Amino acid sequence: MTFAMGPNNYGKSGIRLVRVGRESARHELRDLTVHTALSGDLDATHYTGDNTGVLPTDSQKNTVYAFARGGIGAIEAFAERLARHFVDATPSITTARVRIEEHGWTRIGDHSFTRGEGGELRTTEALYDGETVRIRSGVRDLLLLNTTDSEFNGFLADEYTTLPETDDRILATAVTATWDYQAEDPDDAFYDHAFTKARGALLTAFADTYSLSLQQTLHAVGERILKAIPEVAEVRLSLPNRHHYLFDLGRFGLDNPGVVFQAGDLPYGLIEGTVRRETA
């Protein structure tokens, strides 16, 4: 019996990169986490430990910092430059996937910034196979909450169902969304503009959709992003339901007309789906 390698890749994860732009006294700040993943003709290293085709993950990390010296631009374009380099300059490597998360800092002065811990990320993934590049962009952990205009009722009930129907609840989620661009020669300005439009569409769709379920909200959000950006063919959404339970104050002789809630933790509902442009 032989034991063959299946699909595999290797790279450096969690490359923390901060770049300060000093072109003027009003400094620019970029804060990224980069992940590289390379694959190709790497049977020898797996079968015999022959590393002649292995570009060390340490070198991959160094490449990220070296490329940042000349400027980053849109994370999508930076990821593409790196992915192309790893494949085009390394004979043993046939595919590169470079993922980037951008941590946004808010300016409070010419050289001063603030950022909450955790928080929303702008994300991208460039996948290059030596011929074509696929760019996927998105957001992660974009926290949204509506204090009303959310119901959940009329659902299937079996012998284990205890959930009461509600015609007014808090709807809260932490959005992860990704979408691919089909654009001719996209540049930094295209990516930044498209991201701003997608994020804006997502926020307004969440805010002004009267929700009968998180599933319905998911479709409304995806539809709004597709309408806002013609270069996007489909949107993938992952929406954890951050439950908020109306706290029973009756035990203390108090009413609770939708005022006091207990924010839930685990378990949580997870609503996921893809919204596509229908072609006739």
Ligand X SMILES: O=c1[nH]c(=O)c2[nH]c(=O)[nH]c2[nH]1
- The binding site for ligand X (CB under 6 A) comprises 152, 163, 213-215, 241, 269
The answer to whether 135 and 80 are in contact (CB under 8 A) is: yes
- Pick the closer one to ligand X by CB: 13 or 274: 274
Burial of 264 (0-12, 13-18, 19+ CB in 10 A): middle
Q: Would you say 39 or 213 has its CB closer to ligand X?
A: 213
Rounded least distance, CB 223 to ligand X, Å: 17
Query: Nearest distance from residue 151's CB to ligand X, in Å?
Result: 9
Smaller CB separation from ligand X, 220 or 233: 220
Token pair, residue 63, equals 């490449």
The helix or strand, by DSSP H or E, that contains position 191, with its residue range, turns out to be: helix 188-208
3-state SS, residue 200: helix
- From the candidates 33, 57, 94, 95, give the one annotated as an active-site residue: 57
Closer to ligand X by Cβ: residue 176 or 241: 241
Name the minimum Å distance from CB 263 to ligand X.
15
- Minimum CB separation of residue 196 from ligand X in Å reads 28
Q: How far is the CB of 214 from ligand X (least distance, A)?
A: 3
Distance in angstroms (rounded) separating the CA atoms of residues 66 and 100: 16
H-run or E-run covering 75: helix 75-88
Return the bridge partners of 98, or none: 36, 126
Choice between 106 and 161, CB closer to ligand X: 161
Is residue 57 part of the annotated active site? The answer reads yes
CA distance 89 to 83: 10
Q: Which residue, 33 or 238, has its beta carbon nearer to ligand X? A: 238
243 labelled catalytic:
yes
To the nearest 5 percent, what fractions of the chain are helix, strand and coil? 25, 35, 40
Alpha-carbon gap, residue 183 to 195, rounded angstroms: 13
Say how many CA atoms lie within 13 Å of 202 toward its Cβ: 28
Query: Min. distance of Cβ 272 from ligand X in angstroms?
Result: 11
Neighbours of 83 (CB within 10 A): 26
* CA dist., res. 46 & res. 156, Å (int): 51
Annotated active-site residue in 12, 35, 61, 85? 12
Residue nearest to ligand X (CB): 214
Is 12 an active-site residue?
yes
Quote the CA–CA distance of 256 and 88 in Å, as a whole number. Answer: 64
Report the catalytic residues.
12, 57, 243
